Amino acid sequence: MTPRIALNGRLSTVKCFSTRSPEETVALGRELGREFGPPCLVLLEGELGSGKTTLVKGIVAGLGAAPEEEVHSPSFTLVHEYGRDRKVYHVDLYRIEGGARELETLGLEDLVEQNATVLIEWGEKLDALGLAPQVRIRLEHLGGDHRRITVERLGKDGRQ
Ligand code: ADP
Ligand code: MG
């Protein structure tokens, strides 16, 4: 059974996966991506090397926006854009300190307001902005190539 928990007045559904290789993580991303049609804000959390960018490769491919080989970390440019009709924005906040003012200058709200899928690495830094993500994904090292990937879906107004 999928557990449902209440968080800030919104219902959430939590699913836990584990992968044992980068390829498995990409494959999981493909499956998940099919369900992240726009508008959808997805926050990815987890330490460096936990597999956020690897998962995003699969998600972008699953959405049909670009092949996984074309997806790379936007650490320096902050935002990558994929797809034509259906836009996917891939954001990496690694180099951002996380203060509300610095975040506001990035224009993330504008991306979120477009009919797009927005994938944000280091999404925990966004808490200050008070955006309402549809999905929160946490990635954790379990030793070697083993990762735990927890996907939490947040329903609007307490509904799924
Ligand atoms: P992040 O974006 O969180 O910093 P990356 O996806 O860039 O992480 O890097 C993850 C690294 O860990 C890659 O070098 C990848 O090959 C390796 N890796 C090993 N096992 C896995 C796994 N199960 N899932 C994802 N990446 C893995
Ligand atoms: Mg990354």
Q: Give CA–CA dist 107/48, Å, rounded.
A: 24
Q: Domain 4-158: give its CATH superfamily.
A: P-loop containing nucleotide triphosphate hydrolases (3.40.50.300)
Backbone angles phi, psi at 25, to 5 degrees: -70, -40
- In this prediction, residue 49 carries a pLDDT of 96
- The ligand 1 atom at the shortest distance from the C-alpha of residue 48 is 4
- What are the pLDDT digits (tens) for 131-146? 889 999 999 999 999 9
- What are the pLDDT digits (tens) for 100-142? 777 777 888 888 888 899 999 999 888 777 788 999 999 999 9
Could you state, in order of their start, the residue ranges of all structural domains in the chain? 4-158
CB-ligand 1 contact for 22 (6 Å cutoff): yes
Q: How far is the CA of 71 from the centre of ligand 2 (A)?
A: 11
pTM listed for this prediction:
0.91
Q: How confident is the model at residue 10 (pLDDT cuts 50, 70, 90)?
A: low
Q: How confident is the model at residue 151 (pLDDT cuts 50, 70, 90)?
A: very high
Beta strand residue intervals within 46-104, DSSP E: 79-82, 88-92
